[in-house]
Each structure stands twice: as structure tokens, then as C-alpha cells.
Chains A and B, each alone.
Chain A
Amino acid sequence: MTVAVAPSLISGIYQGRIAHTRFWLYLGLIAGTLALAFFGGNGYDEDGYLQRLLSMQGVIWGGVGAVVGVAASFLLGNSKSSGGASPAVTNTVPWIDGLLLMTLLMALFTLLEPHQALISYEDQSNLISGRIVMAMNLLFLFSAVCYIMHLFAPESFIGKMATMAAWGGVYAGGTSLLLRWYESYLFLDGDIGHAPVSNLYEVFILLFCVTSSIYLTFERRYQAKAMGAFVMVLVSAGVFFGVWLDSIGQADIKPLVPALQSYWMKIHVPLNFVGYGAFAVACAAGMAWLVRERLERRGSSPMLKVFPSLDQLDQLAYKAVAIGFPAFTLATILGAAWAAEAWGGYWSWDPKETWALIVWLFYGAYLHVRVSHGWSGKTLAVWAVVGFLVTLFCFVGVNMYLSGLHSYGRLA
């Protein structure tokens, strides 16, 4: 993100002993808090877990985990002595760092929350998260504009601004979601508190963040900045949809129906959105491929220098699907596990389930076409774009047009 400002300092913390120790520290923390969930007190208690986590008990369990983690990091040693860290470390640590930073920002923003008297279930307009979502919207729109300008002026600082605005949007979005989690406990005696993945508005914010951060990771690793214009235009379209949802009163925090009051929601929904977000990035790569191919056929265009090559775009689309497909598969499986627990059957041919299967079959076919039969080029680019349209229908269309067991995702 700020690599340009202080490359050595920033990249330094993702390497060597510091990253290695931090990796194990995080692992220990996660193991400690998970152990608290399963073995602390009388097993897992959905409502009381957060309180328990923030109490002395949580500090002890988490602390023990952290200490064990750090000890393990020294015992197991650094596998790569020569500067670089192992892929497991470099692929996880920055994400957990980011989450921690978001949590920290969330904690800071809670201090700016208006007086209790100004907050009520009926009127949620004073909550600070709404303002941060607005900031996120502006940042994403600004970033989209900058990425498009970058196509025409690749040498200027606009490209850097685009990247920075996109990262800003990701952090604003993540922070606002965490804040909504906190805010859901602020009224009705904290009775309706729940994770911020319960309605279309919230998951849209999640989708923006996931899509953008997957793209930004690609941008840094594979220097594919021209693709940003396509990703961010998709995200911006979503931003407008989110604003519309807000305007019709769909942004309010509402109590959860009993079927959703389960820890499965916190696993199933975000994992699904890793899938959706990755497919969105694949779609953007496919669109970039089609545009570049058109430009190439027209002859030389200055823009060709900005675009990654057709082959690279093809690779990027595949990489995105390779992230999204296993995540989506696992999310669907976990959804089935939840359904088995809540509805009495792991598969009911409910419209949402069926459409998830359709999406899965679609990308399954994509992988067959690509891996087993070695196709590439236009067919795959079109496939990635159409695949995302199918995904979009599964995500939004089913909620809006079809009824079924997932009907709590409907607009009220």
C-alpha cells in the first residue's frame, strides 16, 4: 500500500524474524481464542462469547495462546534464514495485520460515537458507521476515476492515488462493518447484537472490500494496474446499488431471525464472499482481456503499453478463479452443514442452493476447459465475464426475484 513511501521499512516487517514470530503469535492467539470458544466454560455460547473474549478469561486464554505461539516460533526456528519468509507467512501475516488495523480503527471510531440519547433502534442515522460507509463510497468512486485516468496517463501520479484510494476504501469498509457489529449492541439493551453479515447492504460492503483487496494484492504482485479500472468500475456499480439500498431504508440494523442466530453465519457468509469477490476480479480480468484484444486488432494504441499482455490477463483470471473456486466450494459445503443443523437436511434444492450449484458447475466447467483441455483466449475471457453474471444472479437476483429458504436476504 505505502510501499512507495518507505519500501524498505514496510516490506521489512513482512520478512525475516519479525514476520515469522508474528505469524506464530497470530496462530497462537487464534488457537487460544478458539480453545476458549470450545473448552472455556460450558462449551460454545453464541451470545456470551464476545463478552467472554473481552473479559479476563479471554485475556488469559488468548495470552496463553500468544505465549505458546511465540515460543513455538523460536523452537521451530526460521525455515528460511536468508531474508525471505515462507509463503505461509507472507500470504497470511499481511491480511491479519490489516484486520488488526481495522479493529484498531474501529476502536478509535467508537470514541466518536454520538451520545446514547441520540441513538435508538428506530433512528439509526446518527451512528458513525454510516458516515464511514459514505467515506468508503467516495474513496471507491474516486479510485475508479483515477484508475480510468491512469489508462490515459500511465506515467503520472494518478495511478498511485488510485491505489491509495482503493486501499483507503478497503479500510473504511472493513472498519465500518466492524463498527456496525459494535453498534448493533448499542440499542434495545444489546439484545439484537450480531455479526455484520446479515443483510444485503452489509454483505455488499463486504464484497467491495474482498474484491478490492484481492485485486490490490494482484496489482502488487503481478503489476496489473490497468485491470484496476475494470475492477473498480464493478465496485463502483456496487457502490451505487448500496446507496440505493440505504435510500430505501435497507441499511438499518435489524434483529436476526432465529435461523440465522448461529456461529455458522460468521463462517459461511464471509467465505462465500471470498468466492464472489474473486469471481468479480476474474470477470474484470476477462473484460480487460476483451478490451485489449479489441485495441490490438485496431492497431497500435498508446494504451497497449499500460495493459498487461493477453497472456498475463488470462493468467490473472485463472488465478482469481483458483482463489474463488475452493473458497466457494468450502462455503457451499459449510452452508450445507449449517442447513443440516438448522433445517434438517444438507440439501433442499432451495433456489439459493441450486444457484450456488449452478455457479459451481459453471466455474467447474471453466477449470476443465482451461486445465484439462488447455483452452485459453477469448472463450475463457467471455466465460469469466458470463460466470460473474451468473454469480451476481446467485447473489442478488435470487434474493430479489426468487423465494425460498434464504428469503431473509430479501428486501423487506
Chain B
Amino acid sequence: MKPSDIGILIVDDEVSVRDALYKWFKFDGYRVDTAENATSALQKLQDNSWDIVLLDIKMPGMDGIELQRRIKQFDKSIITIIITAFASVDTSIQALKEGAFDYIVKPIDPDEMGHLIRNACEQRRLIYENIQLRQQLDEISFSEEIIGESPALKKVMDKVATVAQTDSTVMIRGESGTGKELIARAIHSNSNRRYFPIITINCGAYTEGLLESELFGHEKGAFTGALYRRRGKLEMADKGTVFLDEIGNIGHKMQMDLLRVIETREFTRLGGDRLINVDFRIICATNRDLEKAVRDGSFREDLYYRLNVFSITLPPLRERKSDIALIARFFIKKYAQAMNKNVTDLSPETLEVLSRYEWPGNVRELRNVIERAIVVAKGSYIDVSDLSFPFPPDIKNTEEDSLEAVEKSHIKKILERTGGNIAQAAHILKISRLTLYNKIEKYQLKK
């Protein structure tokens, strides 16, 4: 920040002080103005923006302490510096307690004044930077990648907005690839904890011992190879959010430990005896049927109730097919830009194929299909030939097709899947082998 970017308002009833300070700051290139009393100062605060206010503690009418209170009510980011004629400890402490950046005793040492203003400017710059960063964070708070206008998704996003403002534990359910982590991040970034970290732990990716060490950390020498003390992820998430992905995959001992931590918010590192207190919110996710797991005894009932306070179920992509075009176009834009390709849209036939596909891998699968298509696409549109599905869809059936056409296509698909094994295909189709032979004959499906 250049001095000319900083506005300093001097509030003092003594004209000589106002003039001297005005001149001092003017020579340094700051934008300066003066006010002879609190009323005039408040008016000038309304009329213009000021970064630093130097104010005399003793003034007729409203004194400096009261003026400071009003300034902080008006804009708490304004830096106030109290000028006092006497080194009155009580008054100065009161001013500092009420948010003054510092105080200076008249007469001021020129060097002290220089340092004070430089420090105040630095503080102001940091406050300003902080405000800007928070604004940027707020702008991206709803993850860009949660795309869709379908009623099913809107219902989910309404739930996210409702629960984000609370501190409740959230359980996110949904098939693989539906965006459970994105939803967890959206909840975190719209909560009061958004300026603190969100720590993700994929519970399914660790063995029980490793998961324990990941979550709680360990002291030096806690086990073979523990050469250093290490903070656990729960500690790292202090004041933030812990996202426990694949919570349904944790073992019995870990379930017990986790239950205790959730209840007490304290734990010890592996090999340590010092209790560590942490403040975090838990969001967990699973694609397992936890109720069934509780019934068959593989998941603790008490932990289930602790975690399942507020539940959000993400719809699979096949249940919000109206969003497919939007999502596909989002990924086209993203990957075309990243790969520097001139692909701008989908051909109508491609869109139809995408809309009819069942998407067992959900949005993740759609993303991968689009990414691969962008790699191979030659023109500015993604063509059907550019698509490559891990589980190829039957692209010929349309609602206008006759029953015969659908039957032919289905038999052909099953025969392909069984490698032409008639007995296996007949079993899947729940028809006799003879009937199948007749149908093959009828539809000329012989190789």
C-alpha cells in the first residue's frame, strides 16, 4: 500500500496539534484530514473512508474513549490510536481494551511516531487483505462442481444450507461418485468454521492401526518406525471440520475409540498420556447400508446414532437425468480449457446417448467419459463416436422403438455378455433354450 492509499483522520481540540500532525503526515504523502471534536469526526467518517484515526483522549463534549467506541461500532476495521497528554495507565489500558491499536503520549518522539504509523499501516494492510480473502472464500463457498437444477439436487442443496449454519454431525449417504465429499466441503465452507481447515480421512484406505495413528497422531517411539512425534488429523482439524469418508468400513476398536472422542472431544496420541482437547465438527459419508450393518452387528448402534444426527442422501445421477446436459457441459468447458482444445458442446445424438445411459459410476463416471471424449474429439462437438463407456450402453433403443426391436436388442446384448453361450443367456433371459434359438433365428442374430 502506498502512503497515498492510506487515509488518516486526526481528531484533537488543539489547533496546534491538528496542524502539526496534518503537516507531518502530508509530508509523508498520506491522505489527511482533521476534526476539532467528536461530532465533526463522526461526520467525516460518514463522508469519507478512513484507515487510521488518531484521537485525543481529552476533548470537550464526547471524549476520545467514547468516540473510539462509536468509530468501532461504525467500522471495527478502522485503526484507532489514542493521543494522551498524560501517561495515564488506566485510561490507556481502557483504550487498548476497547480496541485501540496503540496510544502515544504528547509530546511524541518523531521516530516513535514514524514507527507507530508504519505499524498501523501494516496492520491496516493485513486487515484489508483478510477482508478480501474472506470475500473470495465466501464467493467460492458453494463448490462450483455441484451442478444441477433438478428438484432432487435442489432438495439436497436446501438441506446443505440448513445444516451448514448449525454444528450438527452430518451423515452423507449416496452411491459411489455422487459427490459426497463435495457436499461435505459445501457444508464446511458455508459454516462458521469455514476459515479453519476441513480435514478428510478416507477410513476405508487404512488398516485399523494406521487409521488410529492417522486420526490421533503418535508420540515419538510409540511403535516401531515412530521416529518423530506426529499430530493426528483430529488435532489438525481443531476449530474446523473432520470429514470421515467411508465410515462404514471401520473396525470395532476404531468404532469404540471414535465414539469416545465424539462424546468427550478429547483423546491422547498413541504412546502418549497427555489429554488433547479439540473442537471439531464431524461430517461422515458412506455408501454402505449402515442400518443393515447395525442389525448384523458389524457397526455399533451407539456410534450410528451419534453420527446419524442429520442425514443427507445424494440422488444417483440416473435419478436426476435432467442435470446430465448441464454437468456434461460444465466438464466440457473445464477439460477443453485445460487441454487447450476447441470443443464447445455435445452433438444432439451424444446428449441423447448420455441421457439414456444408467451411469452406475454417477457424476464421477460422467466426468471421466467427458474427459476421455475431449481427448479424442476432432471437431468442436463431442460426437457419439468420441464416447467410451466402461459399461457400454444400448444406444439403439428409443421410446419410439417397437417391442420387437427392444427384444432383439436386449437378446443381442445378453448374447454378447455371455459370449454366445445359449444356456447362460437363456437362464438370464428366463426363457427356454428352444425359445432363445427361435428368437435368434427370427432376429437373425447368428454370428
Does A associate with B in a complex? no
B→A interface (CB under 8 Å): none
A→B interface (CB under 8 Å): none
